[in-house]
Amino acid sequence: MSVPPKVSDKLKDLLNEAIARELSVSISYMWQHVMMTGIKGHAVKGEIKKISIAEMKHAEEIAERLAYLGGKPTTKATEVRVGESLKEMLQINTGQETEAIELYRKIIATAEEEGDIVTADMFHSIIAQEEEHHDTFTSLLEDL
> Contact at 8 Å (CB) between 73 and 66?
yes
pLDDT band at 143 (very low <50, low <70, confident <90, very high): confident
8 Å CB contact between 45 and 36: yes
Residue 144 pLDDT: 80
The pTM of the full predicted model, rounded to 2 decimals, is: 0.94
Of the pLDDT bands very low, low, confident and very high (cuts 50, 70, 90), residue 1 is: low
Complete domains list, the chain, with CATH: 9-72+82-142 (1.20.1260.10)
CA distance 101 to 6: 25
Q: How confident is the model over 7-48, as pLDDT tens digits?
A: 999 999 999 999 999 999 999 999 999 999 899 999 999 999
**Nearest by Cα to 62 from 128, 110, 109, 11:** 11
Q: What distance in Å separates the CA atoms of residue 58 and residue 45, rounded to the nearest whole number? A: 20
Rounded average pLDDT over 56-83:
97
Percent of the chain with pLDDT over 90: 92
- How does pLDDT run across 101-128, given as a tens digit for each residue? 999 999 999 999 999 999 999 999 999 9
| SS3 (DSSP) at 80 | coil
Average pLDDT, the chain: 95
- Tell me the helices (H) and strands (E) count for the chain, helix number first: 4, 0
